[in-house]
Amino acid sequence: MYKGSNVNKSELIDAVAASADISKASAARALDAMLDSITDALKSDDSVVLVGFGTFAVKERAARTGRNPQTGAPIEIKSAKIPSFKPGKALKDALN
């Protein structure tokens, strides 16, 4: 369907609207609500498990020392929370 290219948000909305037989506006609201819900859960340090699709979670990245690429001087990089996604078995199987 989308072989060899990136799918942007509007193309995803079009695909959802066609697949679910709903208007593009409804599909856009549904997609935005889903993304907001996932974001809110991750902000609360919760994980979101979509059985068969995958798990969205927050991981801690430790503080570390890096190098300024222009000067080579060492810089301290602070710890951070980063989002992660672990694909589920059904998603992996669909790709192989």
Q: Percentage of the chain with pLDDT > 90?
A: 92
pLDDT tens digit sequence for 43-61: 999 999 999 999 999 999 9
Model pTM score? 0.79
- Regarding whether 62 and 39 lie in a shared domain, the answer is no
Q: Domain limits at 61?
A: 52-96
- Regarding whether 81 and 67 lie in a shared domain, the answer is yes
- Regarding whether 38 and 75 lie in a shared domain, the answer is no
- Regarding whether 59 and 87 lie in a shared domain, the answer is yes
- Regarding whether 65 and 37 lie in a shared domain, the answer is no
Instruction: Give ∠ CA 9-45-33 in degrees, rounded to 5.
Output: 30
Domains identified in the chain, total number: 2
Instruction: Give ∠ CA 27-32-40 in degrees, rounded to 5.
Output: 150
Q: At residue 2, does pLDDT exceed 90? A: no
Instruction: Give ∠ CA 60-65-70 in degrees, rounded to 5.
Output: 125
Average pLDDT, stretch 53-78? 95
Q: Which CATH number covers residue 64?
A: 4.10.520.10
Rounded Cα gap, residues 95 and 51, in angstroms = 16
Q: Nearest 5°: phi and psi at 7?
A: -105, 120
- Regarding whether 3 and 29 lie in a shared domain, the answer is yes
- The conformation of residue 70, written as its DSSP 8-state character, comes to T
